[in-house]
Structure 1
Amino acid sequence: MKARIVADLSELPISGPRGSSPTWWGNLAFMLIEGTGFALAVAVYLYLATVVATWPPAPPPELAAGSGVALVLLLSLIPNFLLSRWAKAQDLRRVRLGLLVMIGVNVLPLALRVLEFGAFHVRWDESAYGSIVWVLLGLHTTHLLADLVETMVLAVLMFTRHADNPRRYGDVEDEVAYWYFIVATWMPVYACLYWVPRL
């Protein structure tokens, strides 16, 4: 039997906004999976806090570094929002600038995170408390590092001749959504690590 062409789809665009892009769905699925990982780690932390006589067994963590990370992440929502608008408008010059700013913004919480590990006065192998604290900080640090690499790669791509096309702008919008996820996951972890021990 001879194949019959029903429709010519060759003129369809190779990318589209949000839900019409497979990359958008992949990004969403990744955030759901990773969000579940954070929720499980927080549940472990809260469970341990209920079964241990003294929580935390070490002095409560110093607030400066963790609060600094929270503040930087909240302030980063401003350039991230602007980057989203510029990507939707397909403004290449501003998207390039926004990506460079977001690289800088991503480095700041990583620098503070180095100080933050010492603010807990506990090593990862000292106790269950030390282990879960380091797991939570490590999970979030991994996401910050992954996003830094992704933003750098995307910034390099946006400075090539392949930059000014709808697919690349869609990639930038996916990156913006992932940064919102990173900020959103830190807030409950921050509350859990720094304020639950003070209740």
Structure 2
Amino acid sequence: MKTKSLFFLLILLSFTAFSQTKTNSDDTAIKKSLTYFVNSIQSRQIGQAVSCIYPKFFTIVSKEQMTQILNMTYNNPFMKIEVQDLKFGTIEKPELITGEYFSITHYFLKLKCNVSSLSDDMRKKMSSALTGKYGADNVKYVANEGAYLINAPMKACAVAKDKKAWKFVILEKEYKKELVKILPKKILDKF
């Protein structure tokens, strides 16, 4: 009897370990792809960053427009934005919907936004916009550097056909109406 119980316990532990490994491999693949995306932005490799975006997103915003937006944001001589750190939060279990896997991924970016070349009026507007978007607790102005330090909580939807090559759509509530065109309702209902 002890042998059967021990054998049953061993099988149960193997199934548990296998299921955790499977989840972790999905998490690892998503983290690797998102890290590549963020590193591409950080190193100003905008073309590489654009290649990490879910292709269906380009039916809403063209690839050329997205490239211009990222260039204006991260290669702007008047307001230098630097990605300083990436931390991962919860990565939801991928769900298979109409032939593609979808996973909502929570992450945090630490950004430094140098506004020293802007006028006082523009800095005030920038401060208002940043605190409105990220919350007053997540935005700090460092006067001697003329820069804002921002802890930006972010969400993205990771999408893949094979659970290996993940592409991303940044999830922001103000763009939800547009995202209805490319993401399943079940995913949109989660954010």
- What is the TM-score of this pair, normalised by structure 1? 0.27
Say which structure is richer in strand. 2
From the two aligned structures, give the one with the greater helix fraction.
1
